[in-house]
């Protein structure tokens, strides 16, 4: 029997998709504090995580981002990911100033929830912010709150237009599954800057297929904790059938490379 925790530690996992902070309906598995998240990472053998704050998603991005900085200070295993709104939204700085502020605080990832926060990713809405992120090479994680593999949650034409308009912007689709595979393959063949986070990517031989067709650098390991249990994505990667070198790329090396390139 495979020891997933031992295998995870060997892979030096870097979770690209998790959060902590109080939620309106706490569950036993919720991570109210960074310590809660770190404890679960230790249990599963996850080395590092790119995390956002629950308040930034469900209350106020500006307030949640500030809490994130405060609560991850002195936690070298936790890396801050800010939740962003379109430039004209209240309580957020202009695009260039916002990105400068992010980098100044050591923030290397950005996340958007277009469906929950009720905006589109068309150029007229987020183009200025996308340009600022692109200039600084800040990876943008797009979460369309997919709740079922067959749900048509993603505005694919908007994703395609964003990737085309900003070819140097790393665009990461979060929580996509086998129901999206035909869309994803068509887009990945055309846009080298499009990547997939793996927490829900359970297509049969999907990791192997994406790595073979488009390269292992197009996948980022993620768990979606605490919404989902983290062991499944670890098992999916561990048993994916790809080479050890490819597995390590997906497990964390790809994300480390992206974050190290921010601001350069």
Provide the strand spans (E) within 21-91.
48-53, 78-83
Give the residue-averaged pLDDT of 160-177: 96
Residue range 99-121: mean pLDDT, rounded: 96
Structural domains of the chain, ranges and CATH numbers in brackets: 4-260 (3.20.20.140)
In the chain the first and final C-alpha atoms are separated, in Å, by 44
pLDDT at 29: 75
Mean pLDDT of 128-132: 96
Strands (E), 113-201: 140-142, 171-173, 194-197
Minimal CA–CA distance to 82: which of 52, 106, 58, 55? 52
Q: For the whole model, what pTM was predicted?
A: 0.94
């Amino acid at each position: 029997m495979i020891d997933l925790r031992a295998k995870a530690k060997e892979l030096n996992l870097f979770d690209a998709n998790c959060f902590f902070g109080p939620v309106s309906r706490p569950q036993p598995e919720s991570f109210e504090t960074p310590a809660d998240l770190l404890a679960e990472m230790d249990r599963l053998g996850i080395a590092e995580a790119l995390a956002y704050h629950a308040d930034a998603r469900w209350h106020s991005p500006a307030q949640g981002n500030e809490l994130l900085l405060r609560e991850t200070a002195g936690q070298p295993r936790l890396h801050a990911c800010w939740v962003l709104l379109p430039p004209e939204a209240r309580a957020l700085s202009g695009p260039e100033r916002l990105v400068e502020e992010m980098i100044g605080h050591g923030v290397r990832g950005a996340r958007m929830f277009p469906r929950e926060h009720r905006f589109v990713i068309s150029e007229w809405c987020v183009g200025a912010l996308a340009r600022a992120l692109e200039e600084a090479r800040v990876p943008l994680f797009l979460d369309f709150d997919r709740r079922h593999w067959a749900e048509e949650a993603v505005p694919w034409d908007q994703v395609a237009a964003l990737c085309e308009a900003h070819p140097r912007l790393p665009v990461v689709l979060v929580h996509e599954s086998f129901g999206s595979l035909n869309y994803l393959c068509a887009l990945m063949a055309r846009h080298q800057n499009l990547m997939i986070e793996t927490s829900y990517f359970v297509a049969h031989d999907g990791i192997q297929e994406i790595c073979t067709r488009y390269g292992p650098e197009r996948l980022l390991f993620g768990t979606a904790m605490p919404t989902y249990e983290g062991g499944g994505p670890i098992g999916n990667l561990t048993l994916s059938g790809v080479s050890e070198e490819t597995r390590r790329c997906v497990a964390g090396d790809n994300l480390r490379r992206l974050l190290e390139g921010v601001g350069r």
